[in-house]
Structure 1
Amino acid sequence: MSRSSEQTAIWRHRTTRQQLMLWFGWLGLVMLFVWCWQLMNRETMWFFVLDAPRQAADIGGRMWPPRWEYLPELLIPLWDTINIATIGTIGGVLMAVPTAFLAARNTTPSPRFLRPVALFIIVTSRSINALIWALLLVAIIGPGILAGMVAIALRSIGFVGKLLYEAIEETDPLQVEAVAATGAGRAQVLNYGIVPQIMPAFWGISVFRWDINIRESTILGLVGAGGIGLKLQGSLNTLAWGQVSVILLLILGTVVVSEWISARMRHAII
């Protein structure tokens, strides 16, 4: 066979059909984006959008300088916010731990009944934002920090429960089998075979959730759930921009400190 008659295969990343399908797919995404953009902005008043930079500069000018003499009035609301986050996290963790063990495949006593119920609780908690929980609880039990603490707790169940039950399912089965081989009962297997493996993850998840709850609890006062958000709402309603700037700076400082504490604790634990 002559060399000229030999056919050399040419490698291509995609065939012509695949390339066309890719281009049509991108075209469809662009068309979908344009349609969604038009749908969402059909009632937008672009005059106000174009005027937004000037309005933002005007409000920023009114917020400076901050009214630092207002700071002492914020210490108690700030302490309430920290308590809302801390106690709410503890309550959420206490409810999330049994929920996680019921949701994990390797620890649930009833895969057909209790596991779906536990998963439903986790999904429900994660689906509803803390602000919505607070709105509901303020209507049910009245305004105050109790509504905020319960809202944070209910919101934390889904976060802690999901990550914890995934950690339980990822435990080393050989260690569990070794404990079971000694003749240990179900409770002893959990206590000595599974719990020691998930403790680092448990503490890391709990501290991380507390850090998140510090941020979320700062705005619960906007709906009457107590804390520093209540002061922020009052300052916004009275257009006291000097006070607003102090509150925002205090919230920023609190979040930075909580982030630092959370990082140090996770580093020490994990």
Structure 2
Amino acid sequence: MTTALPDLWTDWCLVTGVPAGRIDEASISRFVQQVQPSRAVLSTLRRRLAPKGPAAPAWPRDHREDTSSLQRLIRRGAAIIQHPGTHWVFRLRLRRMLFAAVLLAPPSQGGLGLDRSGALEMRPDGMRRLRPRVGVAEDPASCPSCATWSWLDVIGTNSGWSHGSVRALGHRLDEEGTAHRHLQPDPNPDWHLCLGMLPAVDRWGWIDSYRSMHPSSLSAVISAMTLLLDGPEPAPAPVPAAAPMQASPRRQMSHEEEEQILKRADELTARVEAILREFDTGR
């Protein structure tokens, strides 16, 4: 049984002259930018786009059928990136991990579905060709295209600027708001000159400009993805104390319960950081 195409899609196709049956990443990206459809509509289109055979062999096996896993991973990784207590080198590694996730995740989730070799052998010309296929999410904090934009900013800065510029970028947090970063021009187009799209990042934040990480290091990155997907939500960033509010009739979380949740989240973050640090030797 074939699922009917969403009315919003067919109406848009009628107006723009795009054949309704031609569902590809370029058309979907244009549709998202012009119409901003709901997640349900976008998921329906991506299911039609998904290949019939096995896809995304490097993506964590238990999450291949979970259509929200890529966006959930990006959202959780972004939460750690946005935490002011995150070390700047760990923040760079997290941005690389989210970019690797985009390369490896199934196309039905907004990824490119590459295997390990395809991800490690990716070069700028291939990224330019495949980038329009990267998915777009409604929430910028979960958006595969925004995660891609952010990592290309990092390796572009590393290619064309000083290590101090890379360090400053590692310290920088994403601007809060509703605007998608990927709709802006690339701030550092020198990523076109890079020789490896998934380079090693050593303990001091130096990024290898000449080659991608070792396959065993990518396997460690995938393990960190799985840990982040299977674990609890990362600890939220601290917020300024607000004025006391009127008591709610709903059950309030005790201080001990809140501490336990935050402890579990901090332990998860520490384990992800340890995995990325231990195997990030570059060779």
TM range (shorter): under 0.3
Alignment TM-score, normalising by the size of structure 2 = 0.27
Question: Which structure shows the bigger proportion of residues in helix conformation?
Answer: 1
Structure with higher RCO (Cα < 8 A, 6+ apart): 1
**TM (normalized to structure 1)?**
0.28
